[in-house]
Chains A and B, each alone.
Chain A
Amino acid sequence: MIVFLLRRLGAGLVLIFVVTAATFFLTYGANIPVARNILGPSATQDQVNLLNTQLGLDQPILQQYWTWLTGVLTGDLGTSYFTSEPIASALASRLPVTLSVVLVASIITLLLSTVLGIASAARGGWLDTLLQSVATFSYIFPAIVLGIVLVYVFAIALRLVPAIGFVPFAQSPVGWFLSVILPAVVLAIGGIASLAAQIRGSMIDELSRDYIRSLRSRGSSEASILFRHALRNAAGPALTTFSLLFITMFGSSLFIEKIFALPGYGTFAFTSTIQGDLPAMLGVTLFSVVLVVIVNLLVDVLQGWLNPKVRT
């Protein structure tokens, strides 16, 4: 298991290296007129040239890459061209926002889709049909519209939760929860359908396996068969789907952040790109890949815990 994890970690590091390098050469190689954009319309060509030199943008791209890479290895992700913030601290200040939303959305997704998936697999009949219809509908219904409706009902009409913004957990746990619950619901809604479908499918597969019949012949209770055995074995594939979902939610949080004016990672990625803030764009990419690697490692560990075959 340890060797396996180390190998996965190694693969993750390669992924980080490859993706950031590709992004670096694609974006820095795209000749975005960075200096001109930064200096604005009134700058002379001399000023532009001077800034290009200051930024090191006049150096060969390989050398720029080397500078960036060695910087990253020492923990320096550079400074934003447009807000002068160190990229690392800019990401660090935006991450809690997005992570909060994605985590709460994950919990909602996990809870609901597990319940729905199991109920629909175990009970079948009209419940299954109903749940499948709800799942399909929630997948089809545009999340943006849902977000708008929720804001109107819960924030504006009822004033139960804020319409915009983020309250740090440390400042007020209740305020924190209220500020992320609506975005989290909107973010979760599309994923519940696919995860519930996955869990339902896996549960049905597991329930049709021989060992279930064997357990039943030895007199195991239905609850034990359903939750202790079938669910445990169905959790593996569901976990993989969930990990993909988690990463997708991280990316999708961008749309949610726009509606709820959350100063999160997605907004940062978006504005950086719009402005052509190269170090920020690279920081975003780097962090995304690191997140993927971490999530995948966690999934591997969990799979090991779930599945004795992987463990040994």
Chain B
Amino acid sequence: MSVYDPSDTTTPAAVEGGAETRRAGAFLRLLRKPMGLGSLLVLAVVVVLGLLEPVLRTHSPNFTSLDFINAPPGTPGWPLGADQYGRDIWARALSSINVSVISALIGASVAILIGTVFGLIAGYRGQRTDAATSWVFNLLMTFPALVLVIVLTPLTGGAYQITMAIFGFFLAPGIYRLVRNLVVGVRNELYVDAARVSGLSNRRIISRHVFYVVRGPIIISAAFMASAAISVQAGLAFLGLGSTQVPSFGVMTNDAFLNIYGQPVQLVWPSVFLALLNGALVLLGNAYRDVLAGPQAGRKRRRTRRLVGEAVPMAAPGAQSSAVSAATPDRGEGGLLTVRNLRVAYPSTDGSEREVVRGLDLEVNPGEIVGLVGESGSGKTQTAFSILGLLPKEARVSADELRVAGDSLLDGNGAAQRNLRGGVVSYVPQEPMSNLDPSYTIGSQLMEGLKRTMPRKEAKAAILALLERVGIPDPPRTFKAYPHQISGGMAQRVLIAGAVVSRPKLLIADEPTTALDVTVQAEILDLLRELQRELGMGVLLVTHNFGVVADLCDRVVVMRNGELVEEGAVRDIFHAPSQTYTKELIAAILDEETTRSDAPASPMGSGVS
């Protein structure tokens, strides 16, 4: 009757890096969620009612008493009354529970068995096996299962068990896709390789590692498939396909439908039981998915829910904007960017707040390149984003002063900030490819912000000129190209062009070279330097790499754990770092050279930076 595509019930991300401890607690955490506990309880109660049918039932489900035809609910001995044939509705409901449960078990088991086996094989073997099985399962998935199940009734003789087994076949592609994708995802992971090296057979590898990873999502899908099987069985029985001797909610619904004018209340019972079963299964699946997604899941949801719109920084309570922090020397030149006592905090699950930037002071002067350095989780990206106004909504940003080119960012509304951003401050991201919308041409994306400030033709000319300036060989072609048609280096040039097209006063570059090839990195840094000189911009360069800082910056600010560690002229700091932390960062240039190795240290790391 209704459809729920099982393939959308989970994402591979939900099970990333499932560790034993996490898994062991999954069930307990499920029980701790009201939705999980509630739906489990409902499900358990209904199933137990079915199991206890021989004890609980007041009559045999097909027993009729002519004296109790259409008996109302509450008639002694007939808890839910009797239908138009004098059959005990309570007894029939109990039997129907068992039919529904068996249908769910058969449908889901067949789907899981077939989907898992072929998914494991296809995902693990890959190549031709994968292509062939995927093709077959794609076909299966699109087939109108209901029609074939009905057309094949003469073969099944109306036995719902067989019908459900056939139906399970058509549910299998959902599981197959799930398992295959997950297996492909983990196939090349190190532990599988390691296992292979250590001489385990393919089957052992699959059963031990891969199967372990995919079982969570399978359980979730199974809940939805069970619900689908129950609905389909009920629907077919409602139509009158199937044995006349087997009571089921579909049969009960049909009987009630025929009797609707006499005893409308009889329609309630099968509906309630069906709704309880389906509802419990669906909610259970949802709850289990949340649980498997781990502690991050809750936060991820909160974050994503508020993704639209920005966190607006507020003046710190009681602070006076004129207050000057003793920690930072006053440059006295009326700096391009002035940040005083910036604090960024996130609410955590237990209700408290966790600060990721703790009272930072920062200054960028016109024409100055300042490096903001620190390891992952030091708060440097949070700082940059709070200036850009790109933090998620639930971030609490406060500062005594947050001022760009004389305009305060503390009291502006969204539109004013947007103007500021499009014109005065601009941004060059870390990953060039993911920062371009794959669905639009490069030209149209760059034009988008610009069109509000200048005529279309002019904007296009400006962008074409800039594309040329940033070293794009054939600007008109690139203008019309889609992101996937250009290289990463080109994409970064495009983004730089996009950032400077409005002639900003301040450019914030967040690790602008880390995602690029070594050969391209130097070119991009050169380009940034040249543009900075031409346009006289101030630049805040966020990086973890002291090499880049040494190459480009005038001044450097070192951050750790959300606090300023050290600041000063690049040469000074580079030659005589006063803090151990800074020394380590400088030493790291030699170790890592160009590759960034992010430790998953930052609690914000997965989502925000």
Contacts and interface: CB of A to CB of B under 8 A. Distances in A.
A308 interface: yes
Interface stretch (B26-34, B150-158, B317-325, B362-370): B150-158
Nearest to A188: B2
A194 B4 contact: yes
B144 A221 contact: no
Contacts of A247: 142-144
B437 A215 contact: yes
Contacts of A258: 238-239
A126 B292 CA distance: 24
Interface string B297-322: 00000011111111000000000000
Contacts of A201: 8
A150 interface: no
B495 interface: yes
Nearest to A198: B8
A299 to B, nearest CB: 9
B129 interface: no
B552 interface: no
Contacts of A214: 427, 429, 435-436, 495, 498
Interface string B373-417: 000000000000000101000000000000000000000001000
Interface in B489-538: 495, 498-499, 502
A69 interface: no
A222 interface: yes
Q: How large is the interface on A (under 10, 10 to 19, 20 to 34, 35 or more residues)?
A: 35 or more
Nearest to B273: A142
Given A217-B421, A292-B144, A308 B439 contact: yes
B239 A254 contact: yes
Contacts of B423: 219
Given A210-B434, A211-B437, A308-B439, A193 B1 contact: no
Contacts of B482: 308-309, 312
Interface string A261-280: 00000000110111010000
Interface string A10-47: 01000100110001001100101000000000000000
A88 B18 CA distance: 55
A19 B154 CA distance: 17
Contacts of B427: 214, 217-218
Interface string A208-231: 111111111111111011100100
A222 B282 contact: no
B4 A219 contact: no
Interface stretch (B66-74, B96-104, B196-204, B445-453): B445-453
B438 A233 contact: yes
Nearest to B417: A219
Contacts of B437: 211, 215, 229, 232-233
A161 interface: no
B151 A27 contact: yes
Contact of B278 (A140, A197, A219, A237): A140
Contacts of A145: 253, 267, 271
B390 A217 contact: yes
Interface in A116-167: 121-125, 128, 136-137, 139-145, 148
Nearest to B421: A219
A245 interface: yes
B283 interface: yes
A80 interface: no
B3 interface: yes
Interface string B344-360: 00000000000000000
Contact of A225 (B282, B308, B426): B308
Interface string B239-252: 10100000000000
A190 B232 CA distance: 13
Interface string B264-277: 00010011001100
B154 A125 contact: no
B181 to A, nearest CB: 13
Contacts of A65: none
A49 B150 CA distance: 28
A289 interface: yes
Contacts of A137: 279
B250 to A, nearest CB: 9
Interface string A179-219: 00000000001110110011001001001111111111111
A18 to B, nearest CB: 8
Contact of A218 (B153, B279, B449): B449
A274 B241 CA distance: 8
A248 interface: yes
Contacts, number: 240
B275 A141 contact: yes
Interface residues of B, number: 80
A276 B421 contact: no
Contacts of B607: 208
Contact of B390 (A213, A269, A288): A213
A26 B282 contact: no
A142 B275 contact: yes
A86 interface: no
A267 B70 CA distance: 30
B431 interface: yes
B307 A148 contact: no
A49 to B, nearest CB: 21
B484 A144 contact: no
A19 B142 CA distance: 12
Contacts of B484: 308-309
A244 B1 contact: no
Contacts of A15: 139
A32 B304 CA distance: 57
A241 interface: yes
Nearest to B450: A218
Contact of B452 (A136, A144, A219): A219
Contacts of A63: none
Given A208-B307, A307-B439, A213 B278 contact: no
B581 interface: no
Contacts of A308: 438-439, 482, 484
B147 A190 contact: no
Nearest to B423: A219
Contacts of A281: 151
A251 B445 contact: no
Contacts of A122: 308
Contacts of B59: none
Contact of B2 (A128, A143, A209): A143
A251 B146 contact: yes
A83 B446 CA distance: 65
A71 to B, nearest CB: 19
Interface string A281-303: 10011001101100110000000
A229 B247 CA distance: 52
B335 interface: no
Interface string B141-180: 1111111101111110000000000000000000000000
Interface of A: 11, 15, 18-19, 23, 26-27, 30, 32, 121-125, 128, 136-137, 139-145, 148, 189-191, 193-194, 197-198, 201, 204, 207-222, 224-226, 229, 232-233, 237, 241, 243-245, 247-252, 254-255, 258-259, 269-270, 272-274, 276, 281, 284-285, 288-289, 291-292, 295-296, 306-309, 312
Question: Top 6 nearest A-B pairs by Cβ distance?
Answer: A190-B2, A219-B422, A124-B305, A251-B146, A217-B427, A218-B449
20 contacts: A121-B304, A139-B2, A194-B8, A198-B8, A215-B449, A218-B426, A218-B498, A219-B423, A220-B448, A221-B418, A222-B414, A229-B440, A233-B439, A245-B3, A245-B5, A248-B3, A248-B144, A254-B239, A255-B1, A270-B239
Interface of B: 1-5, 8, 135, 139, 141-148, 150-155, 234-235, 238-239, 241, 253, 257, 260, 267, 270-271, 274-275, 278-279, 282-283, 286, 303-310, 388, 390, 414, 418-419, 421-423, 426-427, 429, 431, 434-440, 445-446, 448-449, 452, 482, 484-485, 495, 498-499, 502, 607
Given A143-B2, A211-B435, A269-B150, 4 more contacts: A122-B308, A194-B5, A198-B5, A214-B427
